Chains A and B, each alone.
Chain A
Amino acid sequence: MTALPQATQTKLGLVIDLDTCVGCQACVTACKGWNDAGIGLSDQNPYGADPSGTFLNRVHSYQVAIPDAPAQVVTFPRSCLHCDNAPCVTVCPTGASYKRAEDGIVLVNEDACIGCGLCAWACPYGAREMDEAQGVMKKCTLCVDRIYNETLAEEDREPACVRTCPTNARHFGDLADPDSAVSRLVAERGGYDLMPDMGTKPTNKYLPPRKKGPGTASPLAPLLDVKATGIAGWLDRMLGKI
Chain B
Amino acid sequence: MHPAPSVILFSTLSGLGFGFLAFLGWGALTPSGWAAFLLWALGYGLAVAGLLASTFHLGNPKNALKAFTQWRTSWLSREAWTSVATLLLLAPVALSDIFGLGLPRLLGQIGGLLALGTVLTTAMIYAQIKAVPRWHHWLTPVMFLAFALAGGALLSGRAWAPVLLLAVGAVLLAVWRVGDGAFARAGQTMGTATGLDRLGVPSVLDPAHTAGNYLKREMIFVVGRKHAVKLRRIALVLASAAPAVVLLLPLGGWGIALAAALHLAGALSARWLFFAEAEHVVGLYYGARG
Contact = CB atoms under 8 A, between A and B. Distances in A.
Interface of A: 1-3, 18, 50-55, 58-67, 69, 71-74, 76, 78, 87, 89-96, 111-118, 120-126, 129-132, 134-137, 192-199, 206, 208-209, 211
A62 B76 contact: no
Given A58-B208, A192-B195, A121 B129 contact: yes
Contacts of B64: 114
A94 B63 contact: yes
Interface of B: 1, 57-61, 63-64, 66-70, 72-77, 80, 125, 128-132, 186-188, 190, 192-196, 198-209, 211-215, 218-219, 280-282, 285-286
B201 A64 contact: yes
Given A62-B205, A66-B200, A78-B285, A94 B219 contact: no
A114 B70 contact: no
A60 B285 contact: yes
A125 B209 CA distance: 16
Contacts of B63: 94, 96, 111-114
Given A52-B212, A87-B131, A115 B1 contact: no
A195 B202 contact: no
Contacts, number: 213
B57 A117 contact: yes
Contact of B282 (A2, A52, A126, A134): A126
A123 B131 contact: yes
Nearest to B196: A64
Contact of A130 (B1, B59, B186, B204): B59
Given A50-B211, A94-B67, A115 B58 contact: yes
Nearest to A51: B211
A62 B202 contact: yes
